[in-house]
């Protein structure tokens, strides 16, 4: 423990911190007008800030096991015999100043009766969805696979008439491969382009407005030169014409976000509860995914005993891994979050800031236990998606709490 703990000043400092945090958060909630807030706050408690506490009881009663029919093989860490999975799931997320309750699937589906929840984005949102489906199935064993309206994957819970589904749209905007044409102004050496129409939502979710009562968007780990190398670059179009001068990848992300957010604001009903999930961090250690990067950890990262450095003047272990200024392998999540937060300002889309709580969990990825021979040799370790059961179950606890708060408020009004 930190030597600071022995100082007689310490309790006083804690008191001052919490008092100022309290006033600061009350100030925040007072200054929020409906529909202009961005960070989702539950009963004056910020569920996104806190720490992981070791609690062996947390893992004794998982909601689901390796037999859940909604699993995706590579994330099914029980079936793939991921080492130390019980240990991984013995950590409980405890927000500063309140408790995060585990979801009560029966109560939650009761609240959701005749309502639907949709996820739109990349495989990290699918990871989230699988956890959600396996947990909700506890309340309705008759859950059926559901696939309609461009949905990639989902389930229908007949007891409650609730659908929960995922629409895969990795860039959110429409994009398609265009092989090189001789006269096109494409840089030498390229084989063609991926044309991204920044103002056109991908078909997979273009027609879902009105069907879902809750939506969770994300986009993230496709915005890089691994997925779209120089020979196959992204080229951004607007109103059917190439944008000039051509946008670099991060500016392309900005253009896509601005346009997709505008189209969500225009086309989706006001009373649809909208969330945007911030980046899920990766944990490649010692190199990137294609450089033998590894995540064989047996406990969460530590933040450094730096209790009062709310302004983050002092870098902890997390900052060394993730802060763009320290230029680590995993820096892109925070970079992208800044762009996303800016694009969402002034909208009715709430931030689901699951980044920081997930940053701690270097221990919770499938790593080398991918359920397939040669997978590691070909793809490297998976230090990006999450083991299930695992960290996304905590995401579900948080999301369900926020949905509950929100519908409860509306029902009372
Ligand atoms: C774990 O559960 C047991 C039995 O329910 C209880 O006695 C014990 O206090 C719990 N431990 C913690 C750390 O909550
Ligand atoms: C099921 O929910 C939908 C809304 O998602 C509603 O239109 C439909 O009437 C409901 N069906 C029943 C049988 O209540
Ligand atoms: C990764 O490890 C393999 C086997 O140990 C080795 O042959 C290869 O050179 C390493 N690759 C990199 C990029 O370090
Ligand atoms: C599993 O946990 C044990 C004990 O903490 C540790 O020695 C071992 O390295 C862990 N394995 C992995 C893959 O983290």
pLDDT of 363-409, one tens digit each? 999 999 999 888 999 889 999 999 999 999 999 999 999 999 998 87
Please report the pLDDT score of residue 38 as a whole number: 61
Percent over 90 (pLDDT), the chain? 67
Between CA 240 and CA 244, with CA 241 as vertex, the angle to 5 degrees is: 150
Q: What ligand 2 atom has the least distance to the C-alpha of 163?
A: 5
Distance CA 327, CA 334 (A): 11
- For the chain, the structural domain boundaries read 35-412
Long-range contacts of 1-7 (CB under 8 A, 24+ apart): 1/305, 2/305, 2/307, 4/305, 4/307
Stretch among 6-15, 42-51, 347-356 having the lowest mean pLDDT: 6-15
* Ligand 2, atom 1: closest residue by C-alpha: 114
Q: Is the pLDDT of residue 303 over 80?
A: no
Condensed to tens digits (0 to 9), the pLDDT of residues 51-89 reads 999 999 887 778 999 999 999 999 999 999 999 999 999
Ligand with the closest atom to the CA of 81: 4
Ligand 4 pocket member 86 (CB < 6 A): no
Q: 82 CA distance to ligand 1 centroid (A)?
A: 26
* Ligand 1, atom 8: closest residue by C-alpha: 57
Ligand 4 pocket member 296 (CB < 6 A): yes
Q: Which helix (H) or strand (E) holds 292?
A: none
Ligand 4 pocket member 298 (CB < 6 A): yes
DSSP output for 121-165: ESHHHHHHHHHHHHHHGGG-TT-EE---TT-SEEEEETTTTEEEE
Q: Is the pLDDT of residue 315 over 70?
A: no
Region 236-257 average pLDDT: 96
Condensed to tens digits (0 to 9), the pLDDT of residues 323-379 reads 888 777 788 899 999 999 999 999 999 999 999 999 999 999 999 999 988 899 988
* Ligand 1, atom 6: closest residue by C-alpha: 57
Distance CA 323, CA 335 (A): 8
Tokens of residue 176, six digits: 């398609």
Tokens of residue 316, six digits: 């902890």
Who has greater pLDDT, 41 or 103?
103
DSSP 3-state assignment of 201? strand
Question: Which CATH superfamily does the domain covering 35-412 fall into?
Answer: SGNH hydrolase (3.40.50.1110)
Distance CA 362, CA 352 (A): 20
Q: 299 CA distance to ligand 4 centroid (A)?
A: 9
Please report the pLDDT score of residue 204 as a whole number: 94
Region 180-198 average pLDDT: 76
Please report the pLDDT score of residue 199 as a whole number: 98
Please report the pLDDT score of residue 59 as a whole number: 78
* Ligand 3, atom 5: closest residue by C-alpha: 292
* Ligand 4, atom 5: closest residue by C-alpha: 298
Q: Is the pLDDT of residue 5 over 60?
A: no
Q: Is the pLDDT of residue 14 over 80?
A: no
Region 240-251 average pLDDT: 95
CA-based radius of gyration for the chain: 22
Q: Is the pLDDT of residue 257 over 90?
A: yes
Please report the pLDDT score of residue 184 as a whole number: 54
Percent over 70 (pLDDT), the chain? 84
Query: Are 120 and 260 in contact, with CB atoms under 8 Å apart?
Result: no
Ligand 4 pocket member 299 (CB < 6 A): no
Q: Is the pLDDT of residue 36 over 50?
A: no
Please report the pLDDT score of residue 180 as a whole number: 82
Query: Are 248 and 296 in contact, with CB atoms under 8 Å apart?
Result: no
Q: 57 CA distance to ligand 1 centroid (A)?
A: 6
Query: Are 252 and 198 in contact, with CB atoms under 8 Å apart?
Result: yes
- Bridge-partner residues for 155, per DSSP? 145, 164
Distances (CA, A) of 104 to 170, 318, 401, 410: 31, 32, 10, 20
Ligand with the closest atom to the CA of 367: 4
- Bridge-partner residues for 237, per DSSP? 197, 242
Distance CA 63, CA 134 (A): 7
Distance CA 243, CA 249 (A): 13
Ligand with the closest atom to the CA of 90: 1
* Ligand 4, atom 3: closest residue by C-alpha: 298
Region 104-111 average pLDDT: 97
Q: 157 CA distance to ligand 2 centroid (A)?
A: 12
Q: 55 CA distance to ligand 1 centroid (A)?
A: 9
Please report the pLDDT score of residue 102 as a whole number: 95
Please report the pLDDT score of residue 304 as a whole number: 65
Q: Is the pLDDT of residue 181 over 90?
A: no
Which residues have CB under 6 Å of ligand 2?
A: 114, 116, 161
């Amino acid at each position: 423990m930190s030597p600071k703990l022995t100082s007689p000043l310490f309790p006083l400092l804690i008191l001052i911190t919490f008092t100022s945090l309290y006033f600061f958060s009350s100030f925040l909630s007072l200054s929020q007008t409906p529909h202009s807030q961005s960070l989702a706050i539950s009963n004056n408690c910020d569920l996104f800030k806190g720490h992981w506490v070791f609690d062996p009881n947390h893992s004794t009663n998982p909601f689901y096991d390796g037999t859940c029919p909604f699993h995706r093989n590579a994330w099914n860490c029980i079936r793939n015999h991921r080492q130390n999975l019980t240990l991984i799931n013995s950590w409980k997320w405890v927000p500063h100043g309140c408790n995060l309750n585990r979801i009560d699937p029966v109560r939650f589906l009761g609240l959701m009766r005749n309502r639907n929840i949709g996820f739109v984005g990349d495989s990290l949102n699918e990871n989230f969805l699988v956890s959600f489906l396996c947990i909700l199935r506890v309340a309705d064993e008759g859950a059926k696979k559901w696939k309609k309206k461009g949905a990639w994957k989902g389930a229908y819970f007949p007891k409650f008439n609730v659908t929960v589904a995922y629409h895969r749209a990795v860039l959110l905007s429409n994009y398609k491969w265009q092989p090189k044409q001789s006269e096109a102004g494409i840089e030498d050496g390229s084989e063609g382009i991926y044309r991204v129409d920044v103002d056109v939502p991908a078909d997979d979710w273009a027609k879902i407005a009105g069907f879902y009562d809750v939506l969770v968007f994300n986009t993230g780990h496709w915005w890089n030169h691994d997925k779209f190398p120089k020979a196959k670059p992204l080229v951004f179009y607007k109103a059917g014409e190439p944008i000039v001068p051509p946008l670099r990848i991060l500016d392309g992300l900005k253009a896509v976000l601005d346009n997709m957010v505008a189209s969500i604001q225009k086309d989706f009903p006001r009373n649809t509860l909208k969330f945007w999930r911030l980046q899920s961090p990766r944990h490649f250690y010692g190199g990137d995914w294609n450089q033998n990067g590894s995540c064989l950890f047996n406990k969460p990262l530590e933040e450094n005993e730096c209790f009062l450095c709310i302004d983050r003047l002092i870098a902890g272990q997390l900052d060394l891994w993730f802060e763009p200024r320290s230029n680590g392998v995993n820096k892109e999540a925070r970079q992208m979050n800044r762009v996303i937060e800016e694009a969402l300002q002034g909208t009715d889309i709430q931030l689901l800031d699951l980044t920081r709580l997930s940053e701690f969990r270097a221990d919770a990825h499938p790593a080398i236990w991918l359920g397939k021979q040669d997978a590691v040799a070909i793809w490297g370790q998976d230090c990006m998606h999450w083991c299930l059961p695992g960290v996304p179950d905590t995401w579900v606890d948080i999301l369900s709490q926020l949905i509950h708060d929100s519908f409860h408020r509306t029902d009372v009004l």
